[in-house]
Chains A and B, each alone.
Chain A
Amino acid sequence: MTSLRTHGLTKAFGGVLAVDGAGVELRDGEINALIGPNGCGKTTFFNLITGMIRPDSGRVTYRGRDITGHSPHRVAHAGIGRTFQLCRVFPRLTVLENMLVAVRRTRLRELLAGLHDKGEVERARHWLGRMGIDHLERAEARHLSYGQQKLLELAAVLMAEPDLVLLDEPAGGVNPALIDRIVTLVRDLNAEGRTFLVVEHNMDMVMGMSDHVIVFDRGRPIAAGPPATVRNDPRVLEAYLGV
């Protein structure tokens, strides 16, 4: 039941060990959450598994395949999609183009064909519709509100049909109504068989939506389990409150 697994993952910046021999297992088909105090190595860990930076040592495997040190586009092709902490879309492409760019192309003939393939446009509209932003498909992404851009980013990630979706602070800078909307979406998408890893500061959101919580401190996991168990773990309280 393991989807993504890391073994002894280590990354140092200068003399600082940002991630220190982290061994993590994500549960397949569940909503996994990664929490921890500021500077505990969550973001570095995230960047290591998505290929944005290379680990000094250790391994990352996804569904048994070694993806250690693969470039981000190969990680994406392996079936892992991600969103960014401060929501990144292509500002001067239209909403629809933002979606179509995410479709994987391998053959030269596919690459040189026109962008607006009928079937793909249909699929893009389906996802935009689920996010509630299909009325904006002709707009350039930069004209969308921040909340709409967050939804667009998620929609584009789903367009690439990932089995595992990594969300980096999905609730950051978003109003409560939209947080509820995102939580509902993630639950629905999870029920359809997608695995999630959510890095989040909003404790209510994390505890409310996830099945499996991993707590990071000083570059490695110190506890993992269901939200109710993790919440009362003395090591977690110590890491967060310093008691």
Chain B
Amino acid sequence: MRIASRGLLLLGAALAIGYPWLVPNYYLVYAGVLTVMYAAMATSWNLLGGFTGYVSLGHSAFFGLGAYGTGLLVTRLDVPWVAALLASALLVTVFAVLVGIAAVRVRGASFVIVSIALVSMMNLLVQGWRSLTGGSTGLQVPSPFPGLHRGETHLVFFYLFLLLLALALASWWFIGRSRFGAGLRAIREDEDKAESLGVPTAAYKVAAFALSALFVALAGGLYALWFGSLDPIFVFSILIGSSMVLMSLLGGARHLLGPLLGALIVAPAGEYFLVALGETQIHLTATGLLLILVVLFMPEGIIARFAGNRDTASIPEQSAGQRLEGAAR
């Protein structure tokens, strides 16, 4: 079993690396970049959502800020693209710490509302500040690889996003096995209880929030360099934020590979609808329908639904009397 799953992982990684060379045209490479980008973003979202259970619908704020930060540094200050990408992500992380200190004070539905307010504010700010951002006409970012044609650029960014995805997955895995991760999961289970046991919950939540924002900002920065054109209404949309949530919940937010699995389903499906049906909004309806189905039938996500729960099976069924005896022994 162990060897089989390890083999599957290796096969998946090999397929991901070989993907651009296996598909017949650059359009499919483009769709691949989009899918890997969403996978990286959903996995980053899950650094907060999966561990702590705090559902942020506003993570597109960090995506947009990362994108605009990188774009502005490149266009206005002529900063080399790698430096612009890293500096912008760092700035967004600092910003996320400040926002996080305020935002994670509220829980549940209130936190969701606060996260939506954040992305709306950023949207208005970027649209309103025309002299700097270009307002609603958007921002054009020159390609960092002017020597390559469009298809080859897709190829390069496919691997850049794949690297980001690998980093996000590695972080999730690393935190998941750590004491910090156990504290975060305790917050998800019962925050007051965790606090009373000595877990500094506020600091833990802010750290998870900021780390999650860092990776999403990197994805935003890469997007700006890849796509070359930033539209504030798109990059600061609730839609991008809810995509990360949908993908994570669909695949299984408690699992390392859940968001990736969700992205592999949702992102290609969205592209398919776009190609098959043209510029209708039907993919949005389909997305909503999918979300409802997930919540109704697979609240724990696909992985939990089909992989089963090994922990559950480890306790034999006991009668109530036996259990009490066990407790009182």
**Residues of A in contact with B (beta carbons under 8 Å apart):** 50, 52, 71-73, 75-77, 81-82, 84, 88-94, 97, 100-105, 110-115, 132-133, 135-136, 138-140, 143-145, 147-148, 151, 156-157, 160, 175, 177-178, 180-181
Contacts and interface: CB of A to CB of B under 8 A. Distances in A.
Contact of B182 (A82, A101, A104, A177): A101
Contact of A102 (B198, B312, B314): B198
B312 to A, nearest CB: 7
Given A138-B314, A145-B324, A147-B327, 9 more contacts: A72-B192, A73-B195, A93-B185, A101-B199, A105-B179, A114-B178, A114-B179, A144-B323, A145-B323
A140 B311 CA distance: 7
Nearest to A175: B324
B129 interface: no
A90 B9 CA distance: 31
Contacts of A103: 179
Contacts, number: 127
Nearest to A139: B315
A177 B192 contact: no
B152 interface: no
14 contacts: A52-B196, A76-B198, A77-B198, A84-B196, A91-B189, A92-B189, A101-B182, A104-B198, A112-B178, A115-B177, A133-B326, A139-B315, A147-B324, A147-B328
Interface of B is mostly: helix
A76 B324 contact: no
A100 B326 contact: no
Given A73-B200, A111-B180, A90 B315 contact: no
- Please give me the 3 A-B residue pairs with the lowest Cβ-Cβ distance, nearest first: A76-B198, A90-B189, A147-B327
Given A52-B192, A101-B194, A110 B312 contact: no
B182 to A, nearest CB: 5
B200 A139 contact: no
Contact of B195 (A71, A81, A115, A160): A71
Interface in B186-203: 186, 189-190, 192-202
Contacts of A104: 198
Contacts of B202: 71
Contact of B193 (A89, A92, A94, A105): A89
B326 A111 contact: no
